Amino acid sequence: MNRSTCNHWNYHVTANRHRIPALAWVAFVACTVCSWNAAGQEMSLADGIPGLLEAYRTVNLSSGESGVLMKIPVVEGQRVQAGEVIAQLDDALQATQLKIAERRMASTGELQAARAELRLRQLRLEKLSQMRAEGHAREEEVVRAKADFDVAFARVQSQEDEAAVRELEYLRAEQSLQRRAITSPIQGVVSRLDRQEGEFLSPVRPEIAQIVQADPVLAVFRVPLSEVDRIREGAAVPIQLDRGSATGTVKFVGVSIDSASQTVQVKVQLPNPAGRLRVGESCRLQLQGSTTGAPAQGS
């Protein structure tokens, strides 16, 4: 072995002697960090998984109708029922159109005249047919009477179809009038009013109000993947709140995993009849107790 080869071999040996302690130190630090993370997670789980209260449903109420807002009979913070009127658009034109449609629907004169004409044509055809059988009428007279009867019958059908159309026009006018009253689709609280009386509602800006249903409320958590198997839909779970504790029912366990945090979304339903729980309030999901229940369908 020459000197150059020897020096090259000695360099690698020396380098490896310095590299081995360095690799060992990196491994040690990695193990320490992992141990710290595990301990931190255990501490977090012991304290409960943090979450926030959300509204059960939030509706941003708008309208497909255009017009002037004549009346807004509610105020912010008011509790409303499903179907209660939140805003009333100007409906004078629609009310007039409904009266016209009602009058047209009630008009039956043309139909009665067509039916009377049909009865007359039928009697004439029967009379001529009898006379033709007795040899007192020509064939051409019977043929003409049959054609007149068919025309009268078609006229009755046309009038009956027209009457059905008038009924549909009445229903359309009635629905058009009803659409001028914007109602709440849910029971909840008016959390925000976006318009005032006298403003013009247009397709460009159709927003009217926001309705929030806060009974029940939903507690939303991001549960670590390692713990999510302990939770089942329909199970009763303890929830720690800022002002006490409550028991909720698991309504939803996510089917997808957040890749960044390796967590799964879980939603717990809490009753809130008195409205003491506020949307946005912090809470914690306790996993120490039994959180298992009947598995959800399909699991």
* Domain contains 168: yes
This prediction's pTM: 0.66
Q: How many domains does the chain have?
A: 1
Helix segments in the chain, DSSP class H: 3-47, 92-106, 109-133, 139-178
- The reported pLDDT for the residue numbered 44 is 53
Q: Which residue positions in the chain have pLDDT lower than 70?
A: 1-46, 288-299
- Evaluate whether residue 277 is within a structural domain: no
Q: Got the DSSP string for 193-221?
A: E---TTPEEBTTB-EEEEEEEEEEEEEEE
**Percentage of the chain lying above the pLDDT 70 cut:** 81
Give me the pLDDT at residue 96, please: 97
Tokens 């029967």 label which residue?
126
Give 137-149 pLDDT, tens digit per residue: 899 999 999 999 9
Residue-level pLDDT at 39 = 42
Asked whether residue 169 is domain-assigned, the answer is yes
pLDDT reported for residue 45: 64
236 Cβ neighbours under 8 A, 6+ residues apart: 247, 248, 249, 250, 293
Tell whether 47 is covered by a domain. no
Domain residues for the domain of 163 are 91-179
Residue 283 lies in a domain: no
Does 25 fall in a domain?
no
User: Is residue 34 a part of any domain in this protein?
Assistant: no
Q: What are phi and psi of 148, to 5 degrees?
A: -60, -40
244 exposed, middle or buried (CB, 10 Å; 0-12, 13-18, 19+)?
A: exposed
Determine, yes or no, domain membership for 167.
yes
> Taking all residues of the chain, what is their mean pLDDT, rounded to a whole number?
84
Q: Which amino acid is at 254?
A: G
> Of 208, 250, 244, nearest to 230 (Cα)?
250
